[in-house]
Structure 1
Amino acid sequence: MASNNGIPEEDFKFLKIIVSEYFNARGLLVMLKVLFKDHVKEFKLSGITETIELLNALESSDAFSYKDLTLLHDAIKLTDEFSLQSKLKEKIPSFPLADKQAPVTKLTAYRQKLLKFGYCLTSRDLSKIDKSYNTPLKRYDNSWAMIRDLEHEQVITPTKMADFIKVLERIDLKSAVSILNEGCTPECQKEKEHPTNTRPIYNLPDSEYAQLLVNVSDCWSKFGDINMLKVLLCDFNRIGITEIQKEDDVFNLFRLLRSSGKLSPSNIDVIAEAAFLCGVGPIEEIIKKKIPTYQYPASMDEVHKISEYRRNVIEFGFKVEATNLKTILKLSNLSHIKETDKWRLILSLELNRKLTPKNKETFVKMLRENDMTAEVDALNTY
């Protein structure tokens, strides 16, 4: 039996096929990823290449089922794809039509706002935003790819929206600003005028940017651990681990970071967060001397550019005992590696894919079975 907002279970698999073919034919999978991001974990979302995989993931998360098609109705209303509804009704007579007057209930106001924002952007707008945030340019194929990327980079978030709007205002994207300001409360407006949780906008001249990198590199070489920095930089997929491993100069590591698009004259957050995580205190003074308004992280809550997984690996590096590390190498069939530096050994574990985000739980299980409690706790810190 179907509910008032559902269909018989035997019709549901055909519904998913029709919906998948419809959105695939229009190249709208990435748009759906933006729309449904709150309902599917990011590590699953990033690996999805077909709309039907996304629908299956939504079903697994209990956001979408044959008993409750509300999420699909909300998507049809928001995207104005009512031809899909007609197609579904034609192929599956039991399909209940969406009530155009009913409120959207399964998608947040924030997510709806991002959808409107994506639809309003032109190719020229995309180019302006790309130039504002990326060096080198990423040349986004469409607005949805850009939103996905900027959400991943923590540029677009509910708490950072005021900062993002400020950038759009500076590059004169009036329509986009108007959409993102819709429904803004007095408190929200006050936050935009006097932001408290956003970092001030800056854009260093090339000469000052180059000098900052030289000063930070020299400081790191004097007070920090280059191998710890290498482990931290493995967080960024566009920099190969082998390339990181063979580099022995801090400045050149920052050069790799810049070529990956994670570091620029208008965004040095990765350096600041890396220094904070690795305990290279003097770098804070160097950055603030060059950018007096810069908000250096004061707690782990203010670290956004470096993933929780990577922070756990750094914590593991701090806590792992030398004797335990040797045991770990043996258990990982890497006992032939004769490195003595623990950070280089951790790099070897990552290079040989013994410690990765995907197999972290297996790795932790191995540690737990060998009574390495401190190391297990470290890898589960965040």
Structure 2
Amino acid sequence: MCLAVLDLAVNVNTSSKLTRALLYIPGKLYQFAVIVRNALYETGYLKQHSLEGATISVGNITLGGTGKTTLVEYIARYLSAEGYTTSILSRGYARKSKGQRIVSDGEQIFSDHLEAGDEPALLASRLPGVVVIVDEDKRAAGKTAEQRYQCEVHILDDGFQHLKLKRDLNLLVIDATDPFGGGEMVPLGRLREPLYGIHRADAIIVTRADRPFDEEYILNVVRKVCGEDVPVLYFYHSVTGLRDLKTDEIALPQQFYQKKVVAFSALGNPEVFIQDLLHYGMDVVLEHRFPDHHYYTQQEIDAIIQSASRVGAQAIVTTEKDAVKLIGINFAEIPVYSLQIEIESDDEIRLKSLLLRAITKKKREKKR
């Protein structure tokens, strides 16, 4: 039932009074189920399990894009550079496979976006040296990472609600421009669980903090639920280039100033993608939006190409998350680019300190 309600929230417009009335009872049932489940774990009635290695969870309290995947990539890259054998454990949302799949052993990629899901496939392609495993049971995935690849650190991708597995650092990611999903749980709002669930966070990561937002409101909510001791860190992303999907050559975003482009994406928050293009002066003459995690067909891409030709576009632009799902797709002669982004912050040192302290603490506990 929970997954059905989540899918419904993504695909249904809840702005009309009739729709809200029809969804009220399913929404309350879902809310009750989440509250009971959380209470069973918090009271110890349902058991949490631990992995041998340090476990770092990165997750959301809302549906839709918050920049979580970019943060997971940043953390995995940093820890790998520090010499830790690192794994990313993901459910692999919307993948076509079941059970456990080794997406990457750090040296070779074994699963494409259909078997792994788009986000794990993207992470595997961008993180050589990092093990990526998808499994509905993240504990089982972690065991495989430890026994087969001797991983010392695990990053739970989208792990905030995965209460079955204990974590040594619980990072909650919220979007500065829509931090709490309207204050209502799905399907009437975008909250995955009641707002008080943020009390489980060891740190709050506010993404897109370079955009206008109500910082006082966010801090008031966090302090009310979590107290004064939970750190709040601010991050944002910047565009570093656009990759030509045919040649892999990287162009500077400034080269697209005043160029007519057609944009397409399948994201939780596609508006941020469009704002990035507009920020660099691109003339977005047409936009195609698909549901989050959508798998493209050649027919859909052909329709996008035809529309680009019709409006006189000079290029088609998509995201890196979408680009991993376009292998084998024919784009004819029109150039197609994927937007390259990376995360930045004045709080990088604070985040790195939290990560290293959690790993060190876990090592000390193992020695006892």
TM-score surpassing 0.5? no
Larger % of strand: which? Answer: 2
TM-score using structure 2 length: 0.29
Q: Which one scores higher on RCO, CA 8 angstroms, separation ≥ 6?
A: 2
Larger % of helix: which? Answer: 1
